[in-house]
């Protein structure tokens, strides 16, 4: 089989094509023929060593063991089963819940031993992957590429909306609204939770597409009056912020939140560090939430909402597996709309 592996921390030249044996599923595992694998920022930061400083950057304190096959948004078809797995699974189309954990139900994503496919395990930049059978769910759509966009970004977005406990009619600002996570934040906040969504993008040429996903208003972060515009279009301060941008829009977010408003972050595409005047937080009673991925139950709810047509895949473009380096380079550009998918 072929796979693309990261050979060490560094640039895209650290992504190399390998040919090796197909892995064997162990007890409780299945072998999946990968049909599509969407890209996430996490595997780019894993390669760049951006999760920490020095030689041990990764999701876990011990860092990543190289060579490692990245890729955590995987769909495919079950080819073989290991011991103690029902043979009826062979031939089924599946989508992978992307993490293992000993955490109790509802706490899987925050267990200390949480480990992630594509970082602690070999992932989907490959023709085959092995994964626990109990973490393989039925694919939500007929198409492998369309289904592959949901796991990491969709699960993250769903969990963020749950954390803010969004209520129908509330106004929620979504930053990075044209990105992988943002396109799901727009859809989930509006179409599942019933919120009015103010979507923030760079290029207003994307406004109609964001409105078709459920945004009520679309504004550009390039405006120097963004905070004023948000308050004007909403007729007052807003209820919550679903953020993946970090520093670049943090002060605007705090400015436009109402007293008792809630801010949830799951990313920092526009700057990892910021400054904070504590008085803003306590005088406005603002609650800050940090968010990574989500639970198995949330994953199932996400897939159900996809099946019901409430959440649609948004795909910017696809690449063949061997062009993973070009795909990751493209991922880092501004102005994309939705997800990038690799096809083995
Ligand atoms: N915690 C988790 O579970 C989790 C899961 C998935 C992703 N993430 C994180 O979430 C972030 C976004 O991921 P993604 O997959 O959505 O990435 P993406 O598809 O590349 O989208 C990034 C978004 O951020 C916007 N952006 C970038 N720089 C900006 C700036 N200076 N000011 C305002 N907006 C800016 C982009 O807008 P333009 O294109 O218009 O410039 C784009 O909408 C990343 O930090 C990623 O690591 C976290």
For residue 54, what pLDDT is reported?
Answer: 61
Please give the Cα distance from 252 to 258 (Å, whole number): 12
For ligand 1, atom 22, name the residue with the nearest CA: 179
Mutate to test the pocket of ligand 1, among 151, 244, 313, 331 (most ligand atoms within 8 A of CB): 244
Residue 53 has pLDDT above 70, yes or no: no
Pocket test for ligand 1, best of 40, 43, 181 (most atoms within 8 A of CB): 181
Q: How remote is the CA of residue 233 from the centroid of ligand 1, in Å?
A: 24
Say whether pLDDT at 60 is over 70: yes
Under the banding of pLDDT at 50, 70 and 90, the label for residue 55 is: low
The mean per-residue pLDDT over the stretch 293-307 comes to 98
pLDDT at 49: 87
Task: Give distance in angstroms: CA of 81 to centre of ligand 1.
Answer: 37
Residue nearest (by alpha carbon) to ligand 1 atom 44: 267
DSSP labels for 78-111?
EEEE-TTS-GGGTT-EEEE--EE--PPTT-GGG-
- Counting from 1 in the atom list of ligand 1, the atom nearest the Cα of 176 is 43
Taking residues 140-146, report their average pLDDT.
98
Quote the ligand 1 centre to 55 CA distance (angstroms).
25
Give me the long-range contacts of 25-28 (CB less than 8 A, separation at least 24): 25/80, 25/81, 25/82, 25/85, 25/130, 26/82, 26/83, 26/130, 27/82, 27/83, 27/84, 27/85, 28/82, 28/83, 28/84, 28/85, 28/132, 28/133, 28/134
**CATH match of 154-290 with 3.30.300.340:** no
Q: What per-residue confidence (pLDDT) applies to 227?
A: 98
- Render pLDDT for 200-210 as a digit per residue (tens, 0 to 9): 999 999 999 99
Q: Where are the alpha helices (DSSP H) in the chain?
A: 41-48, 144-148, 151-164, 180-187, 207-212, 226-234, 247-256, 278-284, 296-307, 324-331
What are the C-alpha distances in Å from 257 to residues 65, 245, 274, 327? 42, 16, 18, 36
| 75-117 pLDDT, tens digit each | 999 999 999 999 999 999 999 999 999 999 999 999 999 999 9
Rounded Cα–Cα distance for residues 307 and 305 (Å): 5
When pLDDT is averaged across residues 28-48 and rounded to a whole number, the result is 96
Nearest residue (CA) to ligand 1, atom 20: 179
**Nearest residue by C-alpha to atom 30 in ligand 1:** 270
Ligand 1 mean position to 295 CA, how many Å?
21
CB 100 within 8 A of CB 135: yes
Asked if CATH classification 3.90.180.10 holds for the domain at 2-149+313-343, the reply, yes or no, is: yes
pLDDT for the residue numbered 51: 80
**141 confidence band (pLDDT: 50, 70, 90):** very high
Q: Which of 41, 178, 247 to mutate to test the pocket of ligand 1 (most atoms within 8 A of CB)?
A: 41
Distance CA 70, CA 119 (A): 6
Q: Where are the domains of the chain?
A: 2-149+313-343, 154-290
Give residue 254's pLDDT. 97
Ligand 1: nearest atom to the Cα of 332: 20
Encode pLDDT of 17-34 as tens digits: 999 999 999 999 999 999
pLDDT digit string (tens) for 211-228?
Answer: 999 999 999 999 999 999
CA dihedral in degrees (84, 89, 93, 99; nearest 10)? -20
pLDDT at 52: 73
User: Distance between CA 112 and CA 117 in Å, rounded?
Assistant: 16
Average pLDDT of the chain, as a whole number: 96
pLDDT, residue 220, reads: 98
pLDDT score at 298? 98
Residue 245 Cα to ligand 1 middle (Å): 6
pLDDT tens digits along 157-196: 999 999 999 999 999 999 999 999 999 999 999 999 999 9
Residue 336 Cα: closest atom of ligand 1:
39
- What's the pTM? 0.97
pLDDT at 61 over 90: no
Compute the average pLDDT of residues 126-155: 98
57 pLDDT band, cuts 50/70/90, is: confident
Give the pLDDT of residue 256: 98
pLDDT (average), residues 122-126: 98
- DSSP 8-state code for residue 54: G
Q: Record the tokens describing residue 19, joined without a space.
A: 């040919």
Asked whether the predicted pLDDT for residue 56 surpasses 80, the reply is: no
**Residues within a 6 A CB radius of ligand 1:** 40-42, 152-153, 156, 176, 178-182, 201-203, 221, 244-245, 248-249, 266-270, 291-293, 334-336
Alpha-carbon distance of 149 to 81, in angstroms, equals 25
Q: What is the largest CA-CA distance in the chain?
A: 61
Residues 248-260 have pLDDT tens digits of: 999 999 999 999 9
Residue closest by Cα to atom 15 of ligand 1: 180
């Amino acid at each position: 089989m072929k796979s693309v592996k990261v050979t060490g921390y560094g640039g895209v030249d650290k992504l190399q094509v390998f040919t090796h044996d197909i892995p064997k599923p162990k007890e409780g595992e299945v072998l999946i023929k990968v049909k599509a694998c969407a890209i996430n920022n996490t595997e780019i930061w894993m390669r760049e060593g951006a999760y920490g400083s020095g030689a041990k950057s990764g999701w876990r304190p011990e860092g990543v063991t190289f060579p490692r096959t990245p890729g955590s948004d995987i769909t495919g078809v079950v080819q073989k089963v290991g011991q103690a797995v029902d043979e009826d699974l062979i031939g089924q189309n599946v989508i992978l819940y992307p993490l293992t954990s000993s955490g109790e139900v509802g706490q899987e994503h925050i267990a200390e031993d949480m480990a992630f496919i594509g970082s602690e395990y070999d992932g989907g930049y490959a023709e085959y992957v092995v994964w626990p059978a109990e973490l393989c769910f039925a694919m939500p759509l007929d198409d492998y590429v369309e289904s592959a966009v949901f796991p990491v970004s969709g699960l993250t977005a769903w969990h963020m909306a749950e954390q803010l406990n969004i209520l129908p009619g509330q106004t929620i600002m979504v930053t990075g609204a044209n990105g992988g996570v943002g396109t799901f934040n727009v859809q989930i906040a509006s179409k599942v939770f019933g919120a009015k969504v103010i979507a923030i993008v760079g290029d207003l040429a994307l406004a109609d597409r964001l409105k078709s996903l459920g945004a009520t208003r679309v504004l550009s972060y390039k405006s120097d009056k963004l905070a004023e515009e948000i308050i004007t279009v909403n007729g007052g301060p807003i209820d919550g912020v679903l953020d993946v941008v970090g520093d670049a829009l943090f002060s605007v977010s705090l400015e436009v939140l109402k007293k008792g408003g809630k801010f949830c972050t799951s990313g920092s595409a526009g700057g990892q560090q910021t400054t904070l005047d504590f008085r803003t937080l306590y005088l406005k009673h603002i609650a800050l939430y940090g968010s990574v991925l989500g639970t198995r139950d949330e994953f199932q709810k996400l897939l159900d909402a996809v099946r019901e047509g409430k959440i649609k895949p948004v795909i910017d473009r696809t690449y063949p597996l061997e062009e993973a380096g070009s795909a990751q380079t493209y991922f880092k550009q501004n102005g994309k709309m939705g997800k990038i998918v690799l096809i083995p």
